[in-house]
């Protein structure tokens, strides 16, 4: 049977099952099972072997620990102090409270790696205050939705851990590569807020100015957070600990921090363990079932055929690269970031390597492209999480609010494409 027809049957089957309302992991698993039976004549026990080989990767053990770190910070409610302290420093800018959300998300992202946790937390902590002060709901909701994506770009990042385990790429180098793009995107988002408010002053009330005494008091509030970040990432980049060991240390220190703010009790600890277990189980079953489907496509030679076809397109190196970008922007409207990654990498990565690009560089570019999918309908995850947190506003209102913030994301992608050393400089210095 024609290889492209096989791909159309399997991938088309996944899309049909998704539109029927089936969970994405089960859609991958069913079509992978059908592929094993019909196209490879393999026993179903191959699913177990493939799943074991996928999940039996040392780097993946860091994922539940970083997730737990984020759930502790979320469930204890201590992130509110982070938001308040950030607002003391930049709240005097036009749209200052919205900019504070971006900065607080950047700091929180350096400890959690979970965009879902970030959006839910700041939807509860920041939006009521922004609404009370008279911020335009679209500006407020859009800022929260897009800035939550910083949690997957600024290390530690769950997506980077999965990408590194899948492609056998150093997770530590990926973490290092994400630092400058993450900080640059935070800066671009703040500038976007300022420009929008300056052009349309009705979007936000007059900013509140704070005294230097209040700012230095707020700085004391930030010191424990910066200390946690410095210790967790410092032991990784310093070669003192592996990513998993550092994640264990960070998880322990997050509990200590919650105790320090007197926000830790048995209920919070239990909820944090359960939330971390649920998120980890959801992610790992998606990864393992997607690997089964990818196994079928690779064994049938479909991945190689598609990659060769893309490489031979008459678009040139950067034309093909832009085509890959467009593909991911479109797929991001229908798939979550991890599902999209594990489904497409068998086709895309050979093309990236053939074109001469670093897999470390592409890993960061992919994360930024995936960020767009988190805020684009109809299946943008951040949109639904924020709608669940602020149910009075529908998903499309949040999507419209997020739309202007896609411009700085596209600008960052362009910068990384033109100057790839922005991504690779820190890893080259550290390693």
Q: What gap in Å lies between CA 351 and CA 90, rounded to an integer?
A: 43
Question: ω before 295 within 30° of 0 (cis)?
Answer: no
Structure tokens of 46?
């191959």
- Whether residue 233 contacts residue 52, with contact meaning beta carbons closer than 8 Å, is answered with no
Q: Dihedral sign, CA of 324, 325, 331, 332? A: positive
78 φ, ψ to 5°?
Answer: -75, -10
Q: What pLDDT score was predicted for residue 357?
A: 92
Q: What gap in Å lies between CA 204 and CA 386, rounded to an integer?
A: 20
Per-residue pLDDT of the chain (431 residues; tens, 9 = 90+): 577 787 778 888 888 887 887 887 888 888 888 888 888 877 777 888 888 877 777 777 888 888 888 788 777 777 777 777 888 888 788 888 899 889 888 888 777 767 777 787 788 778 888 888 889 999 999 999 998 888 888 888 888 888 888 788 888 999 999 999 999 999 999 999 999 999 999 998 888 778 888 888 888 878 888 888 888 888 888 888 888 888 889 889 888 888 888 888 888 889 888 888 887 887 788 888 888 888 887 777 776 777 777 777 788 888 999 989 988 888 888 777 887 888 788 888 888 998 889 999 999 999 999 888 888 887 777 888 888 888 888 888 888 999 999 999 999 999 999 999 999 999 998 87
Q: What pLDDT score was predicted for residue 314?
A: 80
Supply angle C-alpha 316, 322, 325, rounded to 5: 145
Cα first-last separation, the chain: 47
Find where tokens 């890993």 sit.
363
Q: Dihedral sign, CA of 70, 178, 50, 14? A: positive
Confidence (pTM): 0.84
Q: What pLDDT score was predicted for residue 223?
A: 83
Q: What gap in Å lies between CA 265 and CA 270, rounded to an integer?
A: 9
Q: What pLDDT score was predicted for residue 1?
A: 56
Judged by DSSP in three states, 180 sits in helix
């Amino acid at each position: 049977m024609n290889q492209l027809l096989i791909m159309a049957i399997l991938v088309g089957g996944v899309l049909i099952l998704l539109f029927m309302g089936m969970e994405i992991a089960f859609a991958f698993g069913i079509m992978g099972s059908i592929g094993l039976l019909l196209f490879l004549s393999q026993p179903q026990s191959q699913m177990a072997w493939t799943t074991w080989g996928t999940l039996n990767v040392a780097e993946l053990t860091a994922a539940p620990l970083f997730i737990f770190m984020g759930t502790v910070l979320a469930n204890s409610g201590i992130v509110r102090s982070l938001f308040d302290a950030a607002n003391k420093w930049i709240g005097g800018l036009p749209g200052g409270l919205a900019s504070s959300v971006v900065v607080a998300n950047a700091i929180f992202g350096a400890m959690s790696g979970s965009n879902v946790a970030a959006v839910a937390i700041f939807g509860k902590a920041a939006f009521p205050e922004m609404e009370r002060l008279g911020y335009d709901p679209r500006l407020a909701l859009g800022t929260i939705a897009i800035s939550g994506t910083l949690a997957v770009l600024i290390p530690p990042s769950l997506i980077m851990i999965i990408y590194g385990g899948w492609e056998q790429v150093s997770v530590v180098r990926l973490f290092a590569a994400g630092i400058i793009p993450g900080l640059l995107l935070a800066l671009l988002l703040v500038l976007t807020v300022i420009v929008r408010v300056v052009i349309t002053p009705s979007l936000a009330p007059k900013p509140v100015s704070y005294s230097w005494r209040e700012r230095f008091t707020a700085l004391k509030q930030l010191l424990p957070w910066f200390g946690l970040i410095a210790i967790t990432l410092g032991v990784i980049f310093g070669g003192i600990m592996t990513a998993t060991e550092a994640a264990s240390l960070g998880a322990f220190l997050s509990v200590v921090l919650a105790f320090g703010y007197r926000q830790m009790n048995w209920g919070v600890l239990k909820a944090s363990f359960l939330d971390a277990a649920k998120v980890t189980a959801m992610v790992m079953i998606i990864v393992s079932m997607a690997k089964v489907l990818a196994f079928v496509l690779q064994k049938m030679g479909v991945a190689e055929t598609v990659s060769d076809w893309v490489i031979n397109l008459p678009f040139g190196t950067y034309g093909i690269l832009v085509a890959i970008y467009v593909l991911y922007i479109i797929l991001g409207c229908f798939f979550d970031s991890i599902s999209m990654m594990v489904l497409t990498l068998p086709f895309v990565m050979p093309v990236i390597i053939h074109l001469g690009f670093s897999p470390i560089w592409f890993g960061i570019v992919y994360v930024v492209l995936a960020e767009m999918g988190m805020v684009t309908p109809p299946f943008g995850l951040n949109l639904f999480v924020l709608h669940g947190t602020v149910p009075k506003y529908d998903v499309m209102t949040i999507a419209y609010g997020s739309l202007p913030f896609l411009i700085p994301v596209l600008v960052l992608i362009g910068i990384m494409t033109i100057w790839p050393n922005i991504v690779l400089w820190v890893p080259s210095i550290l390693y």
